[in-house]
Structure 1
Amino acid sequence: MVRKRKSDQLFYKYFKEWIELYKVGAVRSVTLSKYNMSLQRVYELAPNLKVGEIDRRKYQQLLNDYALTHEKQTTMDFHHQLKGAILDAVDEGLIATNPTRKIIIKGKKPKEKRTKFLNQFEIQALLRQLDLSSEINWDWFILLVAKTGLRFSEALALTPNDFDFSKQKLSITKTWNYKGTTGNFQPTKNQSSKRTLQIDWQTAMQFSQLIKNLDPNKPIFVKNRVFNSTINYRLKVLCTNANIPIITIHSLRHTHASLLLFAGVSIASVATRLGHSSMTTTQETYLHIIQELENQDNDKIMKHLALLI
């Protein structure tokens, strides 16, 4: 009787209860917001869909409707969030068979992609444009992200205590919630994001002087509310002045990783430095670079083999 009543429950209500039960307090607030956005879309697209009615056709139609206004990758993310709740409903016996099997992910034509990373000559041209004054400013922030590959929120959360200048190391243990009206420290994206990075001696020396008189427990760069767009606008000005492609602050992270890969640094080391939870993420993100490096390796192999004859 209870199972029959639950199978007649509207799916968006079941999904809401599932989020509250399994996600609230278990995931970061930004991730929870994405689940709640997905919940809102389910309510808009299928307000009358009952849990027990979900089969492969109805689920595919829900994804198709969502894909009309979203790109393929966003539709995939939507699918993954719904799939967790649906598979639990299958385990509970509320849905007869898994309706998510062999699902086709669609999506509208993606927007023209921005430049994801700069090459070595372009990043050098960008860094030459920086106004590295004797006090902390956003140009110092840009330099540090370029040298470390930190996520935006990770770099904002840095305090003087995170630096170990004697060992030229930087500890990443937290992020800064810049999206809230009042900023505050938050946990890292995942456990793998907690890491210690080696920094070059020049950067270590520069920052040791910049932050020596600052509060050891307060963010170095945050004085007031911070907007991602503020730093991206500064980057736009710098890129324009340097006559290079205009990039975002996140593109500096891609640039850092790309240059390391081209320099011959292993995927495992790059993944660790970026704080990726697995090498698969790194491989998928930088697949085009890895393929290019493999082609270069094939040329080297052929030349080596030719010398053996």
Structure 2
Amino acid sequence: MAFFRKLDSGWEYRITYRDQSGKKHEKSKRGFKTKTLAKIAASKVESELNSSVLELMDMLFYDYSKQWAEVYKRPHVTAKTWQTYNKNFRHIKHYFGNKKVKDITHTFYQQVLNDFGALAAQQTLDKFHYQVKGAAKAAVRDGVIKYNFAEGAIVKSQKPRRAKEDMFLEENEYLHLIDVARSKMKYASYFTIYLIAVTGMRFAEVQGLTWKDIDFESGFIDINKTFDYTISQEFAPTKNEASIRKVPVDNRTIELLKVYKNDYYQPNRLERICFGASNNATNKAIKKMVGRTAPTNHSLRHTYASYLIFKGVDLISVSQLLGHENLNITLKIYAHQLEKLKEKNDRVVKDIFSKI
């Protein structure tokens, strides 16, 4: 919008506008002999500014979302996260087709979510919606659309969820797996499985371990990095700041680490302890040991936490051991385990007050 005022030096125009990031700017010029001349000059500048918006308005949403992600996301996310963005580009191209940004309505987008939600799991649908909503928000800032069509959408997968129990191993399965993995520790995949089972580490965290991270004296593993096993094959940052932590390990595990170092360790460029293990191989080995197809190496992480909770370790400590960003994440995942403890805790409460 242009504003005009008369100064000693002549008429001045001042135009306020926002750039693609939403930041406010001004353009001004003074010294015009008349207000009419100032208006003509301001109109030309506004036309130039608006032409870029018109260009964006004519873009397909697929093209706009790619441009937005390249500018706002790619420089700031990991290579693995960028893979997710690329997957979503394919979904956007399929479901939005030749739809221009300016032509998308709330109803159209809800139908997209309904159609995709019939095929995709909730987590996949959530990531898709997050990306679309972010691009639409930028389009509002750019002046391409007046409202974010993704706001208020119902993001709900119709695909049957995998039973929560599949995320966990039964206690007998868990203890059996630890025994078998320990007995086959000379294989990097089995030693990886063992370490995940007794520490609750993520697969990428175990793959990022070097001997410098093992405190043989105090019995702790220092988790300070991960390993990008999908793209760069290099060390990478942890999932979040809370994931940088020290996990206690028992004396038997410390001794096994010493044996592995002396007898089975394979020297490698990055000096990684579990060099040679793959995500696919560990998952196959877990399924073989447990005798069912659902469990994965991430199931061991869940089972580790569940086992500690059942053994009476407080939830805050479990959350810290897992490297969760906040306690709410832990509560959400392990609510079922707390339900199992209710009967036991009810008895404890009764015993406490019976002695008063």
- Pick the TM interval, shorter chain: 0.7 to 0.9
* Alignment counterpart, residue 152 of structure 1, candidates 193, 203, 212: 203
| 1:143/1:134 CA distance change after superposition, 3 Å | closer
Aligned ranges for residues 44-59 of structure 1 at < 5 Å?
44-59=94-109
Q: Distance in 2 between matches of 1:105 and 1:301?
A: 41
Report the aligned-residue RMSD: 2.6
Return structure 1 stretches of 4+ with deviation > 6 angstroms. none
* Alignment counterpart, residue 269 of structure 1, candidates 283, 295, 317: 317
* Alignment counterpart, residue 117 of structure 1, candidates 168, 173, 179: 168
Query: Given the alignment of the two structures, is residue 185 of structure 1 paired with residue 235 of structure 2, yes or no?
Result: yes
| 1:55/1:301 CA distance change after superposition, 3 Å | farther
Query: Given the alignment of the two structures, is residue 247 of structure 1 paired with residue 295 of structure 2, yes or no?
Result: yes
SS of 1:251's partner is helix
Query: Given the alignment of the two structures, is residue 175 of structure 1 paired with residue 223 of structure 2, yes or no?
Result: no
TM-score normalized by structure 1? 0.86
Larger radius of gyration: 2
Q: 296-305 or 2-11, which moves further after superposition?
A: 296-305
Question: 1:37: how far off?
Answer: 0.9
Bigger relative CO (Cα 8 Å, ≥ 6 apart):
1
Percent of aligned positions that are identical: 32
Letter in 2 for 1:147: V
Q: Distance in 2 between matches of 1:246 and 1:7?
A: 46
Q: Per-residue CA shift, 1:71-91, capped at 9, x if unaligned?
A: 333212211222122222223
**Counterpart position of 2:217:** 166
Q: Per-residue CA shift, 1:269-293, capped at 9, x if unaligned?
A: 2222112222222222222223333
Give yes or no for contact 2:182–2:194 (8 Å, CA) kept in 1: no
Q: 107-116 or 156-165, which moves further after superposition?
A: 107-116
Question: 1:94: how far off?
Answer: 2.3
Q: Per-residue CA shift, 1:137-167, capped at 9, x if unaligned?
A: 4322221111101111111121111101112
SS of 2:183's partner is coil
TM-score normalized by structure 2? 0.76
Give yes or no for contact 1:59–1:99 (8 Å, CA) kept in 2: yes
* Alignment counterpart, residue 64 of structure 1, candidates 114, 121, 126: 114
Question: 1:136: how far off?
Answer: 5.3
**5+ unaligned residues in a row in structure 2: which ranges?**
1-49
Give yes or no for contact 1:239–1:246 (8 Å, CA) kept in 2: no
**5+ unaligned residues in a row in structure 1: which ranges?**
none
SS of 2:221's partner is strand
SS of 1:221's partner is coil
Q: Distance in 1 between matches of 2:138 and 2:117?
A: 24
| 1:245/1:118 CA distance change after superposition, 3 Å | farther
Give yes or no for contact 1:145–1:155 (8 Å, CA) kept in 2: yes
Query: Given the alignment of the two structures, is residue 78 of structure 1 paired with residue 128 of structure 2, yes or no?
Result: yes
Give yes or no for contact 2:185–2:191 (8 Å, CA) kept in 1: no
Question: 1:192: how far off?
Answer: 2.0
Q: Distance in 2 between matches of 1:280 and 1:112?
A: 22
**Counterpart position of 1:256:** 304
Q: 21-30 or 286-295, which moves further after superposition?
A: 286-295
Q: 113-122 or 129-138, which moves further after superposition?
A: 129-138
Matched residue count: 302
Letter in 2 for 1:82: V
Give yes or no for contact 2:168–2:295 (8 Å, CA) kept in 1: yes
Question: 1:212: how far off?
Answer: 4.8
Q: Distance in 2 between matches of 1:230 and 1:131?
A: 16
Give yes or no for contact 1:136–1:210 (8 Å, CA) kept in 2: no
Q: Distance in 1 between matches of 2:185 and 2:298?
A: 25
Q: Distance in 2 between matches of 1:246 and 1:62?
A: 30
Q: Distance in 1 between matches of 2:119 and 2:186?
A: 45
